[in-house]
Every structure is written in structure tokens, then in C-alpha cells.
């Protein structure tokens, strides 16, 4: 009887956790919506160019509490993208969510300069480690699928190069974040920006860029600047506020 009671309690706790996750993720894109948006802006699955290597990508969405809500990929199988970029995409989503506020959005790209040696935020990237029990649990055959093993867990992690953006709904409320990975970090930012735009979750209230948003900055000497990556990513990024304007 005692064992049966313990099983019932465990099942109720699990059901409650799934219910809580559903509440946190309710306003965020589903796996299908994330997949469609990501594929619509990546060169392997669309005509879009992002200035980097033009590779397949991973994408992850987290809720405001840090829970992973969806993990997707643009290739046909997990091996079509860099395997290491799955967790990096989640790490970027966690970072953008963790360091953005109701009135100020910071992209992961905006954190690059300050976290370099001698910078005012050096060491930030080591402050909230990825939870490896969440990152690598479950069967690898489920990676990038609707039932990716990361879904429902709090991934943690801090990433300080391009590809992570906070998500703001039409009321300007921050509801989580998006992270993408699989190309140069500069191209990752461009892809994340376009994906967020496709999801219509880019009602950004303010930011540190010249256009008062969370776009990547390449101006040397700027405390929120990002290194260039060697391709045409910067040319594309500088036009993003015009070609893919944030919501108003």
C-alpha cells in the first residue's frame, strides 16, 4: 500500500509539472511553428542568405522561467547540423531570457565585448552552468523532435556571442527567448532576428543599439559590440531594422 501511495504521489507531481510547463509555454511557439519559422530564413531550406557558411541550424525556445518549450532543427536528421550546437542554441535562449528585462532587451551578441578579459562583465559566461542532466538526458533519436528530451527542463547556461534574442509579445511583454546555433555567431544573430520576426514576437521595448533595439553592434569601441566573423554577416545585420523591422 505504501509503495502504491508513493507511485500515486509521484504521478500527481509529474502531472502538475507538465501543467505548469504548459502554462509557461502557452504563449510561445510550438515545435511546428518554430520549425517553420526557422526553415523560412535559413539558406538550406529557403532563398535567404545570412552572410556566414549558410548551414543547417538548431533552434530552441525557453519560457520566462527558463524552461525549454521547443527544440527544432532545419536538417532532416540531427547529424545534419553541428551536434554541439543543439545545446548551444538552448544556452543562447537561456542567456537572452536571463539578461533581458521588460524595458530593455539584450541579445547574446550585445554581451560579447563586456565579457572579454578586462571587460566589466568578464566571467559572466561561467556564472550559470548548463545543466548537463537536462542537456544530455533521453534518447538522441529524439533530438530536434517535438519530444526532444530537453523540453520541460531548465537548461541554464550563459553564451556571449550572437544567436540569442528575447521574445516580446504584441503587448511588449517579455515571455521568453529564442536561441539558434549552427553557423558563424554573426550569421546566427541574423537568423535569430529573422526567425523572431517570422514568429511575430519582436515587439522589443528598447535596446543598446543605435536603433534602440537588440541588434548586433559592430562599432569598434562600443561596450556592447561583437567581433566580426569574416563573411558578409555585418552588411546583412546593419539592414535588419529595415528589412525585418521590429514590431510596433
At 16 the pLDDT is 41
Residue position matching grid coordinates 509579445: 169
Residue position matching grid coordinates 550572437: 162
- Given a cut of 50, whether residue 11 has pLDDT beyond it is no
At 23 the pLDDT is 80
% of the chain residues with pLDDT over 70: 91
At 24 the pLDDT is 83
CA distance 248 to 170: 8
On the 0-12 / 13-18 / 19+ scale of CB atoms within 10 A, 161 is buried
At 6 the pLDDT is 47
Q: In this predicted model, what pLDDT tens digit does every residue of 106-160 receive, in sequence order?
A: 999 999 999 999 999 999 999 999 999 999 999 999 999 999 999 999 999 999 9
pTM here?
0.91
Helix axes 185-198, 233-243, angle to 10 degrees: 20
Counting every residue, how long is the chain?
248
* Contact between 168 and 203 (Cβ < 8 Å): yes
In the sheet with 174-181, reading across from the earlier edge strand, the strands are 68-73, 58-63, 174-181, 164-168
Which of 226, 130, 156 lies closest to 184, judged by CA? 226
What is 27-243's CATH topology? Beta-Lactamase (3.30.450)
At 13 the pLDDT is 39
Mean of pLDDT values over 8-27? 55
CA distance 43 to 36: 13
Mean of pLDDT values over 183-188? 98
At 144 the pLDDT is 97
- Given a cut of 60, whether residue 29 has pLDDT beyond it is yes
- Given a cut of 80, whether residue 56 has pLDDT beyond it is yes
At 137 the pLDDT is 96
The more confident residue out of 108 and 10 is 108
| Whole-number average pLDDT of the chain | 92
* CA distance readout (Å), 116 to 45, 109, 120, 160, 245: 35, 12, 8, 9, 30
Domain ranges of the chain: 27-243
CA distance 167 to 189: 14
Which of 91, 61, 84, 51 lies closest to 190, judged by CA? 51
Mean of pLDDT values over 209-222? 96
Q: In this predicted model, what pLDDT tens digit does every residue of 60-87 receive, in sequence order?
A: 999 999 999 999 999 999 999 999 999 9
Amino acid at each position: 500500500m505504501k509503495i502504491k501511495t508513493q507511485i500515486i504521489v509521484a504521478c500527481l507531481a509529474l502531472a502538475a509539472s507538465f501543467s505548469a510547463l504548459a502554462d509557461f509555454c502557452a504563449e510561445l511557439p510550438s515545435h511546428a511553428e518554430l520549425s517553420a519559422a526557422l526553415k523560412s530564413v535559413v539558406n538550406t531550406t529557403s532563398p535567404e542568405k545570412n552572410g556566414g557558411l549558410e548551414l543547417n541550424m538548431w533552434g530552441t525556445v525557453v519560457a520566462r522561467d527558463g524552461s525549454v518549450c521547443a527544440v527544432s532543427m532545419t536538417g532532416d536528421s540531427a547529424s545534419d547540423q553541428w551536434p554541439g550546437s543543439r545545446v548551444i542554441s538552448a544556452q543562447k535562449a537561456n542567456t537572452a531570457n536571463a539578461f533581458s528585462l521588460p524595458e530593455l532587451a539584450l541579445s547574446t551578441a550585445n554581451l560579447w565585448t563586456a565579457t572579454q578579459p578586462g571587460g566589466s562583465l568578464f566571467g559572466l559566461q561561467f556564472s550559470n552552468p548548463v545543466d548537463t542532466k537536462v542537456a544530455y538526458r533521453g534518447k538522441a533519436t529524439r533530438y530536434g523532435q517535438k519530444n526532444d528530451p530537453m523540453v520541460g527542463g531548465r537548461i541554464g547556461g550563459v553564451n556571449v556571442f550572437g544567436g540569442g534574442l528575447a521574445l516580446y509579445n504584441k503587448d511588449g511583454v517579455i515571455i521568453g527567448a529564442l536561441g539558434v546555433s549552427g553557423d558563424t555567431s554573426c550569421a546566427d544573430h541574423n537568423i535569430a532576428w529573422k526567425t523572431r520576426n517570422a514568429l511575430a514576437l519582436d515587439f522589443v521595448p528598447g535596446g543598446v543599439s543605435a536603433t534602440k533595439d537588440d541588434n548586433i553592434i559592430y562599432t569598434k569601441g562600443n561596450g556592447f559590440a561583437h567581433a566580426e566573423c569574416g563573411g558578409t554577416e555585418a552588411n546583412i545585420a546593419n539592414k535588419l531594422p529595415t528589412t525585418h523591422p521590429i514590431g510596433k
